[in-house]
C-alpha cells in the first residue's frame, strides 16, 4: 500500500504533462504542434463535410468531432517556445515579435471551439454552421498573419 502514495501524484503529473509539454529541441516542438494542427484540421474538416452534405450530418459524430477540435485547440500553444523554427516549420518570426496578438488569436480559437462543441450537442445544423464559420475565420486570420504559405 505504501507504494501507492507516490504513484498517485505521478499519475496526476502524467495527466498534466501534455498541456505543458516541454521541448529541448525546436524540431520536437515543431513536430508536436504540426501534429496537433494536422489532427485538429482532420476533425474540423469532417464537420465541414457534414455541413456541406458530403457525409451525413449525424449529431453524435459532429459533436464528437467538435469536442476533439475543442480539446486539440488547447494544445499547440505550449509548443511555441521563443524562436522555435526549423526548415520544416511555417511559423513566422512575428509569433514572438507580436506575442500578444498571437496569444489573443490562440485564446479566441479556444473560446470559439468550446462554443462550437457546445452548440454541436444540440444538433442544430444552422447553429453549428455559424459557430463553425467563426472558428474558420480565426484559423485564417492567424495563418494570414503568422504562418508562411505552403509552396
Ligand atoms: C493563433 C494562431 C493559429 C490559429 C488560430 C490556427 N493556427 Fe493553424 N497553424 C498556425 C501556425 C503558426 C502554423 C505553422 C506551425 C509550424 O509549421 O511550425 C499552423 C499550421 C497549421 C497546419 C499545418 C500543419 C503542418 O503539418 O504543417 C494546419 C493543417 C493548421 N494549422 C490548421 C489549422 C486549423 C484547421 C485551425 C482552426 C481550427 C488553425 N490551424 C488555427 C497558427 C494557427
Question: Quick check: is 14 in a domain?
Answer: no
What is the domain-level CATH number for residue 118?
1.20.120.10
User: What's the domain range around 66?
Assistant: 26-78+90-146
pTM above 0.85, yes or no: yes
Question: Quick check: is 52 in a domain?
Answer: yes
Confidence at residue 17, expressed as pLDDT on a 0 to 100 scale: 46
Give the whole-angstrom CA distance, residue 76 versus residue 41.
12
Question: Quick check: is 8 in a domain?
Answer: no
- Taking 70 as the pLDDT cut, the residues of the chain under it are 1-20, 150-151
Render pLDDT for 7-16 as a digit per residue (tens, 0 to 9).
Answer: 555 554 544 4
Does the beta carbon of 105 lie inside 6 Å of ligand 1? yes
H or E element: which one contains 37? helix 26-52
Confidence at residue 151, expressed as pLDDT on a 0 to 100 scale: 58
Does the beta carbon of 22 lie inside 6 Å of ligand 1? no
Kindly report the protein residue whose alpha carbon is nearest to atom 40 of ligand 1: 139
Does the beta carbon of 101 lie inside 6 Å of ligand 1? no
- On whether the CB atoms of residues 91 and 146 are closer than 8 A, the answer is yes
Question: Quick check: is 142 in a domain?
Answer: yes
Give the whole-angstrom CA distance, residue 83 versus residue 59.
41
Q: For the chain, what is the domain count?
A: 1
3-state class of 147 per DSSP? strand
Question: Quick check: is 47 in a domain?
Answer: yes
Amino acid at each position: 500500500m505504501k507504494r501507492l502514495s507516490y504513484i498517485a501524484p505521478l499519475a496526476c503529473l502524467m495527466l498534466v504533462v501534455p498541456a505543458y509539454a516541454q521541448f529541448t529541441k525546436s524540431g520536437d516542438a515543431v513536430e508536436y504542434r504540426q501534429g496537433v494542427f494536422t489532427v485538429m484540421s482532420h476533425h474540423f474538416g469532417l464537420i465541414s463535410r457534414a455541413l456541406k452534405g458530403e457525409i451525413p450530418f449525424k449529431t453524435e459524430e459532429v459533436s464528437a468531432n467538435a469536442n476533439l477540435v475543442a480539446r486539440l485547440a488547447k494544445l499547440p500553444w505550449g509548443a511555441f517556445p521563443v524562436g522555435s523554427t526549423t526548415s520544416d516549420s511555417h511559423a513566422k518570426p512575428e509569433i514572438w515579435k507580436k506575442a500578444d496578438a498571437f496569444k489573443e488569436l490562440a485564446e479566441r480559437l479556444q473560446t470559439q471551439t468550446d462554443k462550437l462543441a457546445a452548440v454541436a450537442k444540440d444538433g442544430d445544423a444552422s447553429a453549428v454552421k455559424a459557430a463553425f464559420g467563426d472558428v474558420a475565420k480565426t484559423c485564417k486570420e492567424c495563418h494570414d498573419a503568422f504562418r508562411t504559405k505552403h509552396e
